Amino acid sequence: MMGPSHALSGAAAWLAGSWALEHFADYHQSPLAIAVGTAVCAGGALFPDLDLSGKVTRNQGGATVARTFGVFSLFIAEVIEKLSLGVYHATRLSKDPRRNNGHRTLTHTIPFTVLVGWGTTTLCATYGKWAVIGILFFMIGLALRGLFDDWAKRAGWVIVTLVSLAAAWFTFLNLPGDRGYPMIGLAVGVGCFVHILGDLMTRAGVPILWPIPIRRRMWTMVGMPNSIALKTGSKAEVVFVRIGLTVVAVLSAIGLVAPNVLDRFTIES
């Protein structure tokens, strides 16, 4: 799947989850908390593809998400890709193929998702608002790049960086400071998980079972058979998947912020 679909799936998952929590568990969140969670989850849903490195020195290549903060994020992508490749080689078994690129390995596993969610929560708990503002800045940047792909391309990475900073600062000023921020860690983790599910729909698949060894393979790629697999950038992905995700996101958002609007459409009994 491409960046915008991943970001949309993260946003839709967080909004639908928040709606379900409010509806069935009476768990209420402020509009700002919902907006922050949605942005962070959309950003988190792009995070695993930061393992697609480009050419840092020439400011080229990488996944869309790697270009969010110009050469800075390209450099991060380079480091994550090489690190992932290192973990791949350190844990591969005799039937795992040789690789010279770490894309779709470590960052596309369940342990990584848990680690990122836990790490984010720990950072926020230890360093409080300053960690929160850093994480928000980074995640909002990724979300902007993914959700508003065309705008981000036209605006360039400097504008994206400045807008993310402003949004993170605004949140910093308005979020209540007297409690931890477990929702931010959860949103990053859920985002990563939703990304893996998205890639699971493709033919190439993801090593979702790592580190469970199966037939002398540690990195078994699990994907869809050719006939039903989503092809990256295909019409099915761009039109149906995105429309479906947008409908889910918009309905959940209306249900959360203005539930009486939806009531008007239900049949009177």
Residues that bind Zn ion (CB under 5 A): 48-49, 199
- Smallest separation, CB 5 to Zn ion (Å): 11
> First and final CA of the chain: distance in angstroms?
42
Three-class DSSP category at 54: strand
Nearer to Zn ion (CB atom), residue 14 or residue 47:
47
Nearer to Zn ion (CB atom), residue 34 or residue 106:
106
CA 119/CA 184 separation, integer angstroms: 11
Greatest CA separation for the chain: 65
Nearer to Zn ion (CB atom), residue 213 or residue 223:
223
- Smallest separation, CB 48 to Zn ion (Å): 5
- Smallest separation, CB 102 to Zn ion (Å): 12
Q: Please provide residue 116's backbone torsions phi and psi, each rounded to the nearest 5 degrees.
A: -65, -45
Question: Cβ(248)–Cβ(16) under 8 Å?
Answer: yes
- Smallest separation, CB 138 to Zn ion (Å): 18
Nearer to Zn ion (CB atom), residue 77 or residue 256:
77
Question: Cβ(10)–Cβ(194) under 8 Å?
Answer: yes
Nearer to Zn ion (CB atom), residue 49 or residue 78:
49
Nearer to Zn ion (CB atom), residue 183 or residue 208:
208
Question: Cβ(66)–Cβ(50) under 8 Å?
Answer: yes
CA 165/CA 41 separation, integer angstroms: 17
Question: Cβ(111)–Cβ(14) under 8 Å?
Answer: no
- Smallest separation, CB 182 to Zn ion (Å): 26
- Smallest separation, CB 68 to Zn ion (Å): 15
CA 17/CA 23 separation, integer angstroms: 10
